[in-house]
Amino acid sequence: MLIAHQAVGRKIDDVKQSVGNTITITPAGFSDFSQANNALTGSSLSKVTSLAHVSSLSENLTDRVTTIGSATPEFGKFGSNASSTNNTTSLTSPITINADGSGNGGSMRVFIRDGGSLPANFSLPISVLGTTTPLNVEGGTITLSSGALIDGAKDTNSALVSADMATKNNLKVGSTFTAYGATLTVAGIFTSSTKTGGNTIVVALPTIQRLTNQPDIITSATATVDSLDNLSSTTDAVKSTLGSNADVQSSQSEADNAVQPLQNVASISLFSLIGAVIAGSAIILLTMIMIVRERRREIGILKAIGASNTRVVLQFMSEAITLTVAGAIIGILIGVAGGNPVTNLLVTSSTQSAATVNTPTKATTFGGSFGTAGPRAAFGSRPAGGFLSRNGTSLKNSVTNITTNIGWSILAYGLAAALAIAIIGSACAGWMIARVKPYEVMRAE
Amino acid sequence: MIKVSNLTKTFQSGDNVVTAVHNVSFEVPAGQFASIIGKSGSGKSTLLSLLGALDQPTDGSIEIAGHDIARLGERALVRYRREKIGFVFQGYNLIPNLTALENVMLPQSFGRANSHSGKTRAMELLDQVGITGDKQLRKPGRLSGGEQQRVAIARALANRPALILADEPTGNLDSETGKMIFDLLHKLSRSQETTIIVVTHDLSIAGKTDKSFHLQDGKLISKK
C-alpha cells in the first residue's frame, strides 16, 4: 500500500503537469459568429506569456484553402474573413466525399438537406494551421514521419503536411506546392490519427499571417500552466489581462476527471496504509502480551537475579523490533514483486469505474475522446480544434500506465512504520513486565 | 553479617489478614551456613523472599553489612539483588533458551562486567560445581536435575554475592544427588567466604548446618 501510494502520488503530480493544464483563449463571441471581427492579436497575447505559472503559449491562426478549380459549398466563415481572395491551393484533400451516402474506404458521408447533391468537381477544403508551436498543437503532439520540424516563429515558405496529404498529392520532403499564390516547400511529413489532422497543412504563424494578409491576427491560443493546482487562478489572471476581447476557458473539469480516479486510489492506499499500521500494532501488541504472559516466570527470574525493569523491557522490545523488522523485510520483498500488478489493478479498476460512470460527460469533456475522434471534426468546423485531437486513449494510458519503483524513501518509510508498530505494540507489554513481581513468580512453583 | 529484627509480613487474603512472618529476629555471622526449617506454609519461603529483597516487609528491618534493605528504593533493591544476593531455587529456574554457560554469564551482563572476563569466570564457576566440557554449552533441557541445580548455584555465585539464598535446593532431587548439592553448598560457604541460608524441610540437612532456625506459623520457635 505504501508502494502503491507513492507511485500514485507521483503519478498525480505528473498528470497535473501534463494533462488538462491548458487554457484555451479564443476571440470573444467567436463561437456563435456574432462578433467575427473581434480577433485576438499577438501583441495582446504577449501579456499572457509574462503571467506567473504560464509555462508556454501556443498561438494559432487557421484558415482554409480550396483546391484550384473545384466547387466549394459554403460551410460558414470563421475569424476575420478579410483574407486574400486567392485562397486556393494546388493540393487536393485526401478525404473524398460521397454525397449519396455510400461512403466506404477512407471516404466520408455527407448528407445534404433537401435532397441536393454535391457538385461533380467538389473537393473538400484543406485546413491550414499557422502555429507558433508546431511540435505541440492544441495539446496534441505531432509525430514526424520524415523531414524536419519548422520554426513556428519564423516566416518561411516551409510547411508540414500530413502523410495522407503527401500520399494523395505525391509529395516528398522538399517537394513544392502552391497556396495563396505562393510556392511552399514541404519541410516534413507527419502522421495524424484523425481525419482532420490528415486534411491539414501546418505552417509557421507569421507565414500564414503574411499569406492571408492578417498581420498580428490570432484565432486561438493555448496557454499551458505549470500545474493543475494553479489552473484556476491562472485562468482568472488571463481573463483579467485580456478583458472582454477574449473567451478564456480552462480544461479544469477535464483535468479533474483525469486525476480523480488516481486521487481515489491515493486515498484508498493511504487509508489502507493507516489501517495496516493500526492492525499491525494490534497484532504485535497481542502477541507481546501473550509472550509476556507465557514468559512471566522468566521475567521473574531475570528480576530476581538482578535485572532491572528497563533491562527486561528493552529485551522484550528488541524481540518485538526483530520480529517486525524481519516482517518488514519480507513485506518489502513481496512489495517489490507485487507492487506493480497491485497498483495497476487498483488504478485500472478505479479509472474504469470512473469512465463507466462518467461516460456521457466524458464524451464532451474530452472532446470526443475516450472513444473515436468522430467524423464531425472532419470539416475543420472548429477553429484549429479537432486537429490532432487530444487523444483520450493516450490520456487514459498516461493515467493508468503507472510503474512502481522502490526507492530509499520507501524503504525508510517502511522500516519507520515497522519500528513504530514494534514500539507501540511492545509499550503495553513493557508496562505489564514492570508489574511482574518476582516473589509472586517464585511462590507459584 | 545478617541481622533480622522484628520482621513481620502480612498479606491481605480476601477479608482475612494472613501473617506469613510474625516478629522474627535472628543473626547470621558472615561466612556461615544457616538453615531455616519448617513445614509447608510455615512462612519460610516468604522469609527468604524478604531476605532476598524480592518483597518488602510490612514491619521490622533486615540489616546486611550495615544497610537496612527494608528501607531501600526500587533501583537500590535491583542493585542489591544483583550485587549482594545469589538465588538458588527449588525449580532451578534457568533460562531455557540459553546454554549453561550463558545462564551463568547472565547476572554479570546486568552489571558492567566485561564479557570476556565474564566468560572466563563463568567457566571457572561451572568447573567448580562440576559442570565441565561440552555440558557447559548445553541448554538446561539437556541436563539432569542435579546438573541444572549445579548450574543454578554457579549462576548464584557469578557476581560474588555476600549472601546466597537457597529455597529448597534439594527438593526436586533424589536423596543421593541432594546430598551432593548440599555438600557443594557447604564447601562453597567455606571456600568463597559466602553466607548461605538454606530453606528446607529436610531435618537431616538442617542438622549439619552451622545454624538452624525453626519456623512455625510464621514464628521462630527455636534457634540452634
Instruction: pLDDT band for B142, please (50, 70, 90 cuts).
Output: very high
* Least Cα separation, residue B159 to chain A (angstroms): 10
Q: Which residues of B touch A297 (CB under 8 A)?
A: 93
ipTM: 0.86
Q: What is the pLDDT of residue A372?
A: 33
Distance (Å, whole) CA A385 – CA A379: 11
Interface test with chain B among A294, A302, A303, A305, by most B beta carbons within 10 Å: A305
> Across-strand partners of B118?
none
Going by C-alpha positions, the residue among B141, B148, B140, B193 that lies closest to residue B170 is B148
B110–A442 CB contact, under 8 Å: no
Which range has the worst mean pLDDT, A396-405, B177-186, B197-206?
A396-405
Tell me if A306 and B55 make a contact (CB, 8 A cut-off). no
Distance CA B131, CA B157 (A): 14
Nearest CA distance, A310 vs chain B (angstrom)? 10
| pLDDT tens series, chain A, 445 aa | 667 777 777 777 777 766 667 788 887 755 444 444 556 787 778 888 888 888 888 888 888 888 877 765 555 444 444 444 577 888 888 887 665 545 444 455 555 555 556 666 677 888 888 888 887 655 456 788 888 888 888 888 889 888 888 888 888 888 899 888 888 899 888 887 676 777 888 888 888 888 888 888 888 888 888 877 788 888 888 888 887 777 888 777 676 777 777 778 778 878 887 888 788 878 888 888 888 888 888 888 888 888 888 888 888 888 888 888 888 888 878 877 777 777 777 777 766 655 444 433 333 333 333 333 333 333 333 333 333 334 444 455 555 566 666 667 777 777 787 788 788 777 778 888 888 877 776 655 4
Q: How far apart are the first and last CA of chain B?
A: 17
pLDDT at residue number A367: 33
> Which 24-43 residues of chain B touch chain A by CB within 8 A?
none
Put simply, whether A437 touches B (Cβ < 8 Å) is yes
Which of B54, B82, B87, B153 to mutate to test binding with chain A, by most A CBs within 10 Å of its CB?
Answer: B54
Q: Which of A305, A307, A437 minimises the CB distance to B87?
A: A305
Q: Which residue among B54, B90, B110 places its CB closest to the CB of A445?
A: B90
Tell me whether residues B107 and A439 touch, CB distance under 8 A: no
CB A305 to CB B89 under 8 A? no
B85 contacts on A by Cβ (under 8 Å): 306
Could you tell me which chain B residue has the CA closest to the CA of A436? B54
In chain A, what's the furthest Cα-to-Cα distance? Answer: 115
Please answer yes or no on whether B83 and A438 come within 8 Å at the CB atom.
no
Contact across the interface for B159 and A306, Cβ inside 8 Å: yes
> Inter-chain contact A308–B54, Cβ cutoff 8 Å?
no
Candidates B160, B168, B104; CA nearest to A445 is B168
Q: Is A384 left (phi over 0), alpha (psi -120 to 50) or beta?
A: left
Number of domains in chain B: 1
- B54:A307 CB<8 A: no
Residue A318 forms contact with B (CB below 8 Å): no
Residue B137: CATH number of its domain? 3.40.50.300
Distance of CA B160 to the CA centre of its chain: 13
DSSP designation for B222 = E
Query: B89 lies in which domain range?
Result: 2-223
Flag whether pLDDT at B27 surpasses 70. yes
CB pairs under 8 A between A and B: 59
Q: B49–A439: do the CB atoms touch at under 8 Å?
A: yes
The reply to whether B167 touches chain A by the CB within 8 Å rule is: yes
- Look over chain B and give the mean of its residue pLDDT values, rounded to a whole number: 86
| Vertex A42 angle, CA A40 and A46, to 5° | 115
Cβ <8 Å between A445 and B89:
yes
Q: Yes or no: say if A341 and A347 are a contact pair by the CB < 8 Å rule.
A: no
Hey, are the CB atoms on B93 and A303 less than 8 Å from each other? no
For residue B78, which residues of chain A lie inside 8 Å, CB to CB? 303, 306-309
Q: How far apart are CA A309 and CA A303, in angstroms?
A: 7
Map out the domains of chain A as residue ranges: 22-250, 259-443
Rounded to the nearest angstrom, the minimum Cα separation between A298 and chain B is 7
CB of A306 less than 8 A from some CB of B: yes
Q: Mind giving me the DSSP string for B46-113?
A: HHHHHHTTSS--SEEEEEETTEEGGG--HHHHHHHHHHHEEEE-TT----TTS-HHHHHHHHHHHTT-
